[in-house]
Structure 1
Amino acid sequence: MSKPGEARVEEKLYQNRYVVDGGRSHIRVAAHDKPSANLLAMTTLCPAGCYTLTEAGQVEVAPDGCFECGACRVMCEPGGEVEWNYPRGGYGVLFKFG
């Protein structure tokens, strides 16, 4: 529980909204036999928790709730493992400040 006058990150993030663009993900993970160290790192580095490691050893992305911070783009795009684009207008994260 937060102290008076303080807010936990989770409480602030809960105020944000995400408008899902059904069928048009703005992030795609390329097919891979074994994830690279950078792609595997996204399972812990993504602040929104969008990346998960499956039982089959594959890294998958669920972009609903993505903050569009670009961390995965910086970590993985040079190797071509992640294709990242901004969502179409009207979709994606809607931040609530305050």
Structure 2
Amino acid sequence: MKPLSVPERLARNRFELDEEESHIEVNQEVVKATGCGRAIVACCSAHVYTEEADGSLSVEYAACLECGTCLAVAAPGALKWHYPRGGFGIQFREG
């Protein structure tokens, strides 16, 4: 049996979307002023962030793997991040 690729393994995970509350908020002014958007986009393995032409970031929080890597590279104050409310977010099916 052939081992599954990383994208195939990630596809087995389950996401419970919290449509009322995002667990990621972007301070666009800080992102634009510091230019940290590229680093945030580059480090996110789930491709949650997209840098827009004006230097702002758009976020697709439903795909977040909740690893917190974005916080490690973001400028102070650029992101407000917390785990999703109980029962929401990612449910890992593969290790």
For normalisation by structure 1, the TM-score amounts to 0.84
Which residue of 15, 20, 24 corresponds with 2:17?
Answer: 20
Q: Does 1:87 align with 2:84?
A: yes
Partner Cα separation in structure 2 for residue 84 and residue 63 of structure 1: 10
Partner Cα separation in structure 2 for residue 37 and residue 21 of structure 1: 29
Q: Does 1:55 align with 2:53?
A: yes
Unaligned runs of 5+ in 2: none
How many residues are aligned here? Answer: 94
**How do 1:38-77 and structure 2 match up within 5 A?**
38-76=36-74
Match of 1:10 in 2: 7
Q: Which has the higher contact order (CA 8 A, sep 6+)?
A: 2
User: Mean alpha-carbon deviation: is it higher for 80-89 or for 47-56?
Assistant: 47-56
Query: Residue 26 of structure 1 contacts residue 86 of structure 1 at CA under 8 Å; is this kept in 2?
Result: yes
For normalisation by structure 2, the TM-score amounts to 0.86
Q: CA RMSD in A?
A: 1.8
